[in-house]
Amino acid sequence: MEKLDTDSIDYLLWSISNNDDQVAYRSLFEQYYVALCQFARRYIDDQETREDIVQDVFFTIWEKRKTIAPCTSARNFLITCVKNLSLNHLRNQGYKQDYETTLQKKLPLYLEDQDDIYTLQELQNLLNKTLEKLPTEYRLAFEMNRFENKSIEEIAEIMGVSSRTVKRYKSRAIEILREELKDYLPLFLLFTRFLN
């Protein structure tokens, strides 16, 4: 299924609520399921529990679709639902902890908005911004190999360096990207082969 522009998330929720639109529901799920599971990681360490929570959110959206206010921000709605279910789960498990402190410890340092969730396009933009910060040689070796499918030997010839040097550039680029994008690595691994 073709991914809709992220600006359409509010329309998707509206269409689910007003038109019982199953295609919009499926699209909303496909675009945000993985991102919401990653968001739930701020509260819940267990992957299976996170997936259950997010599935429960989507189940509830469909079951209670007629009660969703038409002017609701879909992104905020999804985030709030996942956050509330996650905190409820922790309370039900008998955790006696300061949720805000726990949340702050798990947040990536570079997040501008604590409630960010990312679609594939947003992750691609994040990757591109990180690539721009790499030294030119590292970036070129990485991009030619991963985006243009050029072999190490082809890159070495183009760059006028040895194959060993290209391997070192590429390896160092991957190390830096893994470090810079570590909080989003599970999402990148699901969507891309860039950091393998």
Alpha-carbon span 190 to 182, nearest angstrom: 14
pLDDT of residue 126: 78
Can you say whether residue 94 is alpha, beta or left, with left for phi > 0 and alpha for psi between -120 and 50 degrees? left
CATH of 6-106, one of 3.40.50.200, 3.30.70.260, 1.20.1050.140, 1.10.1740.10: 1.10.1740.10
Tell me the pLDDT tens digit for each residue of 108-124: 433 444 445 555 566 77
Top CATH class, 120-191: mainly alpha
With CA atoms as reference, report the closest residue to 82 among 119, 39, 124. 39
Question: In this predicted model, what pLDDT tens digit does every residue of 44-73 receive, in sequence order?
Answer: 888 899 999 999 999 988 888 888 876 767
Is 6 a residue whose pLDDT tops 50? no
Q: For residues 43 and 87, is the Cβ–Cβ distance under 8 A?
A: yes
* Mean pLDDT calculated for residue range 167-194: 71
Query: Which tokens sit at 10?
Result: 């509010």
Write down the domain spans for the chain: 6-106, 120-191
How far is residue 173's CA from residue 187's CA, in Å, rounded to a whole number? 19
For 117, the token pair is 């969730």
Prediction pTM value: 0.51
DSSP sequence for 157-194: HHHTS-HHHHHHHHHHHHHHHHHHTGGGHHHHHHH-ST
Residue type, 43: Y
